[in-house]
Amino acid sequence: MPTDPTLSPELADLQERTRRFVDDVVIPMEARDDSAGAHGPSEAFKTELQDAAKAAGLFVPHLPADLGGLGLDMRGQAIVFEEAGRSLLGPLALNCAAPDEGNMAMMEKIATPEQRDRFLAPLAAGDVRSCFAMTERAPGAGSDPSMLQTTAERVDGGWAINGEKWFITGGVGAAFAIVMAKTEGGATMFLVDTDAAGFRVEEAIDTIDRISPGGHARLTLTDCVVPDDQVLGAAGQGFKYAQVRLAPARLTHCMRWLGLGRRSLEIALDRASTRQAFGERLADLGLAQRLIADAVIDIETSRAIIQRTAAVLDAGVDGGLASSIAKVHCSEAAFRIIDSAVQLCGSDGITVEPLGRYMAEVRPFRIYDGSNETHRWSIARRTVRARERAVGVSA
């Protein structure tokens, strides 16, 4: 990828250092990836990756220096996360993979000093993992969080939580969960130790994506008592705080998957430049060039949308519309890029490693963090309302 001349010298250097780290350290370690047939790489392998990133000065780039990070804003994160995303192992190495990255970013903004010490600091150091437990099976909360069924009621010493959570990424092996529950006056977030009485990991769900440590779990909470000092933020404000997490988290997914799309195109270009067909290189045939050009267009438009959305979030204004647009476009563009790479690589493209694996990892992004259909509905509704306000029409 050509160097962006608009980047500051410091950010351009960080981009290059991240690129070299992924190429020289992370990609060679892919041959040792032990996540095949499991739910994410082993803890030992993840620790080895993270130790390498710490040594390279690239660990937790999204967190401030007092938590061991680089203090990047969203625009800076877009540069680094894209480079890290060129390998499925890159975000794990930098400790900027979901769900921990989104949990860290939210807790850094709203956790109390005591919560930062107890929950955030070990997470930032890579010593523990976490999960974000909001999603439930129908008729519970999915794309519509207002359908939340899990409840929390005041009891002596805190809150008793009851409910079931579904498809919770990282749930197996997490040290704590951020649990969204319905309380009097609105939803509330709780920091719940996974070894607390009444908290149970029921099963790991078998899915087509494999890169998330701990996979995706079904959790139950049965009279799980959480003390008052483990309420995250203010009681009744859970949905408000969820937006602090969800809009940036959608965008960081886009950043990482854009990097994997770039890697897929690189693999396809190497193949197209050497494969002969009908007396020419594949790269010189018009039909192949169409696939290559469309992939490049998807990469460049995705990067532009990510940078614009990052600027909106950095400005501190409502990024809901921008992040919805980015989520829909980038999730579909990344899949198109990988699909074109598969086509260009022919029979080699449909082997599981690497492109078949990439397709399986990226495909669920059109569902999680709000289905694309839900985001399209939100985009249309916001757009109609904005026009009505502009012309003085009331709904």
Residue at token pair 């809901």: 320
- Distance (Å, rounded) from C-alpha 143 to C-alpha 286? 41
**119's torsion region: left (phi>0), alpha (psi -120 to 50) or beta?**
alpha
Mean pLDDT over residues 148-152, rounded? 97
Are 228 and 344 contained in the same domain? Answer: no
Residue at a domain's end among 236, 255, 274: 236
Q: Per-residue pLDDT for 61 more than 70?
A: yes
Q: For residue 115, is it within any domain?
A: no
Round to whole Å and give the CA distance between 13 and 328.
31
What's the pLDDT band for 223 if we cut at 50, 70, 90? very high
Axis crossing angle, helix 286-314 with helix 238-274, rounded to the nearest 10: 150
Residues 257 and 222 in one domain: no
Q: Is 144 a member of any domain?
A: yes
- Average pLDDT on 150-164 reads 97
Residue 169 shares a structural domain with residue 312: no
- Does a structural domain hold residue 84? yes
* Number of domain units in the chain: 3
Average pLDDT of the chain to the nearest whole number = 95
Q: Are residues 225 and 243 in the same domain?
A: no
Per residue in 70-99, pLDDT (tens digit) is 999 999 999 999 999 999 999 999 999 999
Indicate whether 365 and 274 sit together in one domain: yes
How much of the chain exceeds pLDDT 90, in percent?
A: 90
Residue 57 has pLDDT above 70, yes or no: yes
**CATH at residue 171:** 2.40.110.10
Residue 281 lies in a domain: yes
The reported pLDDT for the residue numbered 110 is 96
Mean pLDDT across the stretch 145-174? 96
CATH number at residue 386: 1.20.140.10
- Residue 26 belongs to a domain with what CATH number? 1.10.540.10
Q: What is the pTM of this model?
A: 0.95
Question: Which tens digit of pLDDT belongs to each residue from 107-138?
Answer: 999 999 999 999 999 999 999 999 999 999 99
Binning pLDDT at 50, 70 and 90, where does residue 271 land?
very high
State mean pLDDT over 212-220: 95
Q: Which of 236, 261, 279 is the C-terminal boundary of a domain?
A: 236
Q: How far apart are CA 30 and CA 22, in angstroms?
A: 10
Q: How confident is the model at residue 158 (pLDDT cuts 50, 70, 90)?
A: very high
For residues 251 and 206, membership in a common domain is answered with: no
What per-residue confidence (pLDDT) applies to 2?
A: 60
Stretch 374-391: mean pLDDT: 96
In a domain, 227, yes or no: yes
Res 339: pLDDT: 98
Domain match, 265 and 332 both: yes
Residue 252 has pLDDT above 90, yes or no: yes
- Per-residue pLDDT band at 275 (split at 50, 70, 90): very high
pLDDT band at 395 (very low <50, low <70, confident <90, very high): low
Q: Do 84 and 154 lie in a common domain?
A: no
Closest CA to 134 of 243, 248, 47: 243
Q: Are residues 264 and 283 in the same domain?
A: yes
Q: How confident is the model at residue 393 (pLDDT cuts 50, 70, 90)?
A: confident
pLDDT band with cut points at 50, 70 and 90 for residue 142: confident
Name all contacts of 341-350 with Cβ < 8 Å and 24+ positions apart. Answer: 341/264, 341/265, 341/267, 341/268, 341/295, 343/291, 344/268, 344/271, 344/272, 344/282, 344/288, 344/291, 344/292, 345/267, 345/268, 345/271, 346/275, 348/271, 349/268
The whole-number pLDDT of residue 391 equals 95
List, for residues 319-356, the tens digit of each pLDDT value. Answer: 999 999 999 999 999 999 999 999 999 999 999 899 99
- Token pair, residue 344, equals 């260009």
Is residue 47 in a domain?
yes
Asked if the structure places residue 27 within a domain, the reply is: yes
Query: Is residue 310 located within the same domain as residue 343?
Result: yes
* Domain end call among 208, 236, 264: 236
Between residues 329 and 35, the one the model is more confident about: 329
For residue 105, tell me if it sits in a domain.
Answer: no
Residues 232 and 294 in one domain: no
Same domain, 158 and 301: no
Domain that holds residue 198: 130-236
Q: Is the pLDDT score of 37 beyond 70? A: no
